[in-house]
Structures are given as C-alpha cells and as structure tokens.
Amino acid sequence: MFLPLTGVTVVSLEQAIAAPYATRQLADLGARVIKIERPGAGDFARAYDETVEGLSSHFVWANRGKESLTLDVKDERAPEILDRLLARADVFVQNLAPGAADRLGLGAAELRARFPRLIVCGISGYGTAGPYRDKKAYDLLVQCEAGLLSVTGTADEPAKAGIPIADIAAAMYAFTGLLTALYERQLTGEGSSFEVSMLDALGEWMGFPYYFATYGGTPPPRTGARHAAIAPYGPYRVGGGGQVFVGVQNDREWAALCERVLGQPELIEDPDFRTNSLRVAANKRLTALIEAAFADRTADEIVASLDAVGIANARMRTVAEFADHPQLAARDRLRTVDSPAGPLRALLPPVTVAGREPAMGPIPAVGEHTAAILQELGFTEPKAAHE
C-alpha cells in the first residue's frame, strides 16, 4: 500500500527518546529511516530495561520500522560513509550533545551547503545558544526547568509526569517541523534546517500555567488529580470504596449535575457555586457535597447517571487495564510488530485514515542492516567500514 512518505529517506544520528520517537512516526508513514547507532551496545535506550521479552520498553516504543546501521562516527571512514548516505537522503535528524554535530562536519549550515535539498533537524535540551546550551538535559530535569513539577503533584509534594513528556513534546514538534519542511521543499525545491529544544517544546505545553501565573499573580496550586482552575473536575469517592472521575466544563453541565445526578437543584444558585471560579475557590465544600451524594451509590450507578446526562466521567484504569480496554478492542486498534524477541503487540498510531494501514515495521537488532546499507553505498568491505 502506498503511504504518504513512501520514497522519503531519513538518516538519523539519534539516541534516547526525542529524536527516535520523531523518526518512528516518519517510518509509520512509509519513510525509510536509517538509524545510526554505536557499534556494540547501540542506542543507550536499548539498555533502559528488559521488560519486553528481554527488550527495552522505551526502545520498542520509539524505534519500530527502522534500519539499524552501526557506525563509529569518529572513525576515519565515517565521513565518507555519511557523505554517501546524506547524498541520497531527504532528511537528516540528530540529537547529539550540543556542538557535536558541528565538530563532526554535520552542522546544519555545512550540510545545507553541500546538499541543498536536504532537510536538517537538530533536537537539543535547551537550544543552541544561551547559558544552558551545554547543560545536560534529561526528561525529568527539563520538566523541572519548565516549571512542570511546580504545578504537578500534591500540595505537600511535587511529582514528575509519569511519561517522558519533555522528550515527547520535542519529538512531536520535530515531527511536525519535518512534515512542514517536506511540504515547503515540494513548493520551493529547496531544503531547510530547523531546531527544536525540549525546553521550548515543553514550555509551549505549559501555556495555561504560564498565563495563569504571569497574569494571576500566583501559580496554579498543586492539586493532585484535581484541576487547579476547573471544578468539579477530578476524583470523587462513591459507595463501596470506589472512585469516579468527573469533569464539568461549564455552567450548563454544572446545572445538569445538580438537578439530574446530585438531586440538589438548589446548589445551582448557591453563592459559593454560581461560577466556575467560585466553585474552584470553594472546592473543599463542593467535594464534600458531591461525595455525600455519591455515598449510597456504586461506581457503575454513578457512571450510568453521568452518561445519561452527558457529563464527562471516567474510572482510573491501570496500564494493564488500558492495554485490554474494550474501546481499543472494539475499534481494532492493536497490531503485531516483529522484533528480535518475536512478535509484540503495538498500538496503531493515533491518526486514522480510512482504508490505510501504517507501516509499523519490525524493531531492529543492533546493526542488523549495516552490511546491506554499506554494500548499497558501494563499500565492498562492510565490516571494516564501520569498525
């Protein structure tokens, strides 16, 4: 089946999550992605854990559909190998340490001068200038610098996001930037270069707290699983020791909750609850009233009542329960992906196009495609060329 990026070749000098996750999405859309790894151990994310039949969960997630080329980039033959690779490529992505690409002759300006149609993307922690340029940037640390931990957690203790959200944010902007650059090249015939920093990417996602704190005078309080600026919004205890999450977005929904679920229409005009801001300020009292009304009903009964009225709700699932979610099963959202450890279950990419299957190719072993790629480039001694 033809996919949108069929015929596009991506060369990526990548490691960890941000760049690999960006290029994996290109591979899902049909691009050929050649992943350059260190000889021996390869991408260090391969060793984060061994939970997926002996493979790293991070690596499995971010690297399907790629070809693995092991190459010592400091070897005397590496420049020639890279030159031949990039001469055939449409896209080059790197997330090396700051300045490393320039030292290797792989800086954006130099590459664009040599390969005018090449699109060059550099991903960094804090950008290529400024006092934090050379500072190491791991996901948790960028979450700290972007202020995320100051608004996540409870009043007593901050908490990081449970997923590598700074890496993911950078990957998504790199991905959309690359798609934009490919479209621009289609119009102009010229390549381009751009950079994405994890701090900038996560900073964009911190928009609501940024405006709240800058113009409100105080930062959004840490409210655990509740919302700092909307109420009622969060977990509520129900009968039998259960819990239901409720999300009310506007005054119309608030009225429906009071009249048709809580059975207390008088709360609509309660002076403490007339607007969302007032409800947030009186959230402690509001929570007590809601939980008192829910106390003699089960979670199933509460969910049924909320659904009947059209009020958003959910129950907190474990990750294992999400993997077996009835909605995923009903919509056929799981596929099988090959790997060095055998077949693995994988979720389909979120963008669904009727009649089209994403590529979702195998997860490569370290250096699995080295010999074939080097022979394709004209090297007759592939082993010697990358050691």
Question: What per-residue confidence (pLDDT) applies to 380?
Answer: 75
**pLDDT greater than 80 at residue 9:** yes
pLDDT, one tens digit per residue, over 317-351 is: 899 999 999 999 999 999 999 999 999 999 999 99
Same fold, 9-206+334-386 and 233-316: no
pLDDT, one tens digit per residue, over 27-82 is: 999 999 999 999 999 999 999 999 999 999 999 999 999 999 999 999 999 999 99
Question: What per-residue confidence (pLDDT) applies to 316?
Answer: 86
Q: What percent of the chain has pLDDT over 70?
A: 98
**pLDDT greater than 90 at residue 370:** yes
d(CA 246, CA 315): 9
CATH number attached to the domain at 233-316: 3.30.1540.10
CA proximity to 12, closest of 105, 117, 119? 119
What radius of gyration do the chain's Cα atoms show? 25
Residues facing 233 on adjacent strands:
247
Class of 9-206+334-386 per CATH?
alpha beta
Q: Find the mean pLDDT for residues 261-288.
A: 95
In this structure, the strands spanning 66-70 and 91-94 are: unpaired
Sign of the CA dihedral running 38, 202, 322, 353: negative
> Is-contact 229 280, C-beta < 8 A?
yes
The model's pTM is 0.91
DSSP 365: P
pLDDT, one tens digit per residue, over 108-127 is: 999 999 999 999 999 999 99
d(CA 174, CA 21): 9
Q: Find the mean pLDDT for residues 5-30.
A: 97
**pLDDT greater than 90 at residue 369:** yes
Q: Give me the catalytic one of 58, 227, 369, 386.
A: 227
**pLDDT greater than 60 at residue 101:** yes
Question: What per-residue confidence (pLDDT) applies to 240?
Answer: 87
The verdict on whether 227 is a catalytic residue reads yes
Q: What are the sequence ranges of the domains in the chain?
A: 9-206+334-386, 233-316
More confident residue, 375 or 228: 375
What value does the mean pLDDT of the chain take?
94
Q: Find the mean pLDDT for residues 91-116.
A: 95
- Asked if the peptide bond before residue 232 counts as cis, ω within 30 degrees of 0, the response is yes
Q: Find the mean pLDDT for residues 229-244.
A: 93
Q: Which residue has the tokens 């929570």?
A: 287
In this structure, the strands spanning 9-13 and 32-37 are: parallel
